Amino acid sequence: MLQHISTNVLTRLPPVDGLSSPYTGWTRAHWEAVADHLLDAVAPHAVPGFAQYRLPGRPGSAGLTSDGLEGYARTFLLAAFRIAGAGGDVPAELIERYADGLAHGTDPGDRYAWPAPADCSQQIVEAASIALALHETRRWLFDRLDSQVRERVVDWLAGFAGRRTWQSNWVLFPVVIQQFLAGVGGPHEPAEIAAGLDQIEQWYVGDGWYTDGAGRCFDYYAGWAMHLYPLMWARMSGDRERGSRYRERLHAFLEQYQHMFARDGAPVHQGRSLCYRYAAVAPLWLGEVMDVSPLPAGRTRRIASGVLRHFVERGVPDERGLLGLGWYDHFLPTVQHYSGPASPYWASKGFLGLLLPADHPAWTARESAAPIDDGDRAVAMPGPGWLLHATQHDGLVRVVNHGSDRARHLAADGLEDPHYTRFGYASHTAPEAGEDARVRAVDGHLAVVAPDGTVSRRRRIEPIAVFDRFAASAYEDGLPVGPVRVETASIVRGPWEVRVHRVTAPPGCGVREGGYALADDHPPADQIGPGWARVRRPDGLASIVVALHGLREAAVARSVESNAYGACSATPYLTAPEHPGGSALYVSLVALTGDRVVPDALRESVVAAVDGDRVGVRFPDGERVEVVMGAAPAYARYPVAGASVHWSPA
């Protein structure tokens, strides 16, 4: 994998501190240095008067002026955390820069004035960031503005009252805008605050998880939006009743969310807006800011610093000090069509921890182990329909997806979104996102292939269960030769995932099962054997698929410029010709590991026995798992020692 390190930011970093931070070596001083570097790097791109920051890159769909406002608002959020956390002890020009931007941006006669409020406009998003930033820096900025400028700022924000928003995390933007106005004695609409907060109740699914709007839209927005805005509103308003509810939910969320990060800090690569990168740690810091985290303070810093260091060491920010549209490198297939060059600066949310004073335990406590540092983990997440399995020896995290599809945002007969609908997501791989690869849909998918080559698509997921080390779901689709239904159960153990598929399809169709796509700057090596295929990167990471029942042939699909992790990607897959018609079962083993793996040995030592809709799987140490598919699904696990575990529908 290409690792071009941004020497500019690294030269600004203090020495690592292995005593207070034995896992990452990073301290608050490192966070401040990265924040300062990001803020300094955008300054040359400011327009006269600093109301906009027009960064280089592909324009967003809302236009140049909106992109410029986005550059101001999102970097202002970072500046606000830096200013407030330092008690105003920052270079005066930083505060002056954003004060000047407020004066010019709200002046209708200025050449670079901010766009007027409008329904469902990008201005609503950015106004919320400005409101949050103004609240946190009020002592040093808003209260010191000229009275006419303060009035213009209030008038501009007040113009968002009654504006229509998209029915997603957007409903929370008016909440913080109106609350800031209330706090400064401006005109505000309490009904809009209540309406936005009431709206998210229907999207709460339990265990701290929200879907981002109606449907099953689970991703990082659950943390950096659906938790962040209500709790920051509670911080602004002092509300206790709702605030207590939101605190309890964040506590539950972090119990599961802490597992989403690899040992080297890599977040699981899933969902949209991945160019926000370190914003993924915002809910971890939020738990400390709101004093509700279930994590030891040293663990919060260990995970968060691990994420920031991970990206910095891989060239983020780039050699210019800027955050580009991509993951590590520039890669537009990962980016939403509406995103502009300043969009990645929602990464500022990841610096929320700077609001904490320097003597807070999150900064002073010795770093303590993350869950993956201490052992393998298997975590059932029924809310989003995910089953997470992480392995200590290689430091990888994988999420098996049986619940998130974002289907309501897509055409019923169009391509599914590979960042939501694949079976597997991981900390060191990405789904194939190039247009040709999306059409083929090989990686992380069980496809029924019609005789004319048309493949079934997992557009809408029907969750069945997530329990213990088991998860199941189904999807339906229509092919030219008739309807298709695929029911899938996953059982995880260490780096392995055993998939059991009950496929109902017309006779004569093929069946294809894909594993994880691996990518690098050079083509990954591949090896194919009887009933198995493996691809491997030079760093030792390997993706393997092994046929255990029904599937026969193995192959590798390759793509170019289709993956966020490198220009050349490869996916191992299995096939089975001539589906008999009706329902048939197929069983495979999918593995992603940085450890040694011998596919022939796996195929012999992991045994699957199929009897009708019942599948028994025996692992090498003697542990057994039984899964029943069809109308009466069930799961049972029989450890070598200890009590058995059972699940069936209530």
pLDDT in tens, 453-479: 999 999 999 999 999 999 999 999 999
Q: Which residue has the tokens 């659950």?
A: 222
d(CA 133, CA 276): 18
Q: How many C-beta neighbours within 10 Å does residue 161 have?
A: 16
Asked if 592 and 495 count as a contact pair (C-beta separation under 8 A), the reply is yes
pLDDT at res. 409: 81
Q: What is the pLDDT of residues 59-86, one digit of tens each?
A: 999 999 999 999 999 999 999 999 999 9
d(CA 355, CA 184): 21
Q: Which residue has the tokens 């009035």?
A: 151
Helix (H, G, I), strand (E, B) or coil at 193: helix
Element (H, E) at 492: strand 482-493
pLDDT < 70: residue spans in the chain: 1-8
Of the candidates 17, 15, 23, 31, which has an alpha carbon nearest to the alpha carbon of residue 367? 23
d(CA 220, CA 12): 30
d(CA 501, CA 574): 13
User: Which of the four CATH numbers 3.40.190.10, 3.40.50.720, 1.10.1660.10, 2.70.98.70 does domain 377-647 have?
Assistant: 2.70.98.70
The CA dihedral of 142, 147, 151, 152, to the nearest 10 degrees, is: -80
Convert 44-72 into a string of H (helix), E (strand) and C (coil).
HHECCCCCCECCCCCCCCCCHHHHHHHHH
| Domain range annotation of the chain | 26-367, 377-647
DSSP state of 476: E
d(CA 116, CA 102): 14
Asked if 94 and 42 count as a contact pair (C-beta separation under 8 A), the reply is no
Decide: residue 205, CB within 10 A, 0-12 exposed, 13-18 middle, 19+ buried. middle
Q: What is the pLDDT of residues 535-561, one digit of tens each?
A: 999 999 999 999 999 999 999 999 999
d(CA 516, CA 259): 20
d(CA 35, CA 48): 23
Decide: residue 158, CB within 10 A, 0-12 exposed, 13-18 middle, 19+ buried. middle
d(CA 249, CA 246): 5
DSSP 256-296: HHGGGB-TTSPBP--SS-GGGGGGGGHHHHHHHHTT--SS-
d(CA 300, CA 285): 7
pLDDT at res. 411: 76
E strands, 319-432, are 377-381, 386-391, 396-401, 424-426
d(CA 632, CA 627): 10
pLDDT at res. 425: 98
- Phi, psi values for residue 107, rounded to 5°: -90, 110
Helix (H, G, I), strand (E, B) or coil at 432: coil
The separation between CA 550 and the C-alpha centre of its own chain, rounded to angstroms, equals 34
User: Which of the four CATH numbers 1.50.10.20, 1.10.510.10, 3.50.50.60, 3.30.70.2190 does domain 26-367 have?
Assistant: 1.50.10.20
Q: How many C-beta neighbours within 10 Å does residue 82 have?
A: 22
pLDDT at res. 2: 32
pTM: 0.97
d(CA 544, CA 424): 13
Helix (H, G, I), strand (E, B) or coil at 543: strand
d(CA 26, CA 206): 34
pLDDT at res. 4: 38
Q: What is the pLDDT of residues 309-340, one digit of tens each?
A: 999 999 999 999 999 999 999 999 989 889 99
Of the candidates 358, 605, 563, 610, which has an alpha carbon nearest to the alpha carbon of residue 444? 563
d(CA 518, CA 207): 32
Under 8 Å CB-to-CB from 367, ≥6 apart: which residues?
20, 21, 22, 23, 24, 298, 299, 301, 302, 305
d(CA 430, CA 424): 9
Of the candidates 324, 332, 327, which has an alpha carbon nearest to the alpha carbon of residue 314? 327
Under 8 Å CB-to-CB from 445, ≥6 apart: which residues?
421, 422, 423, 458, 512, 513, 514
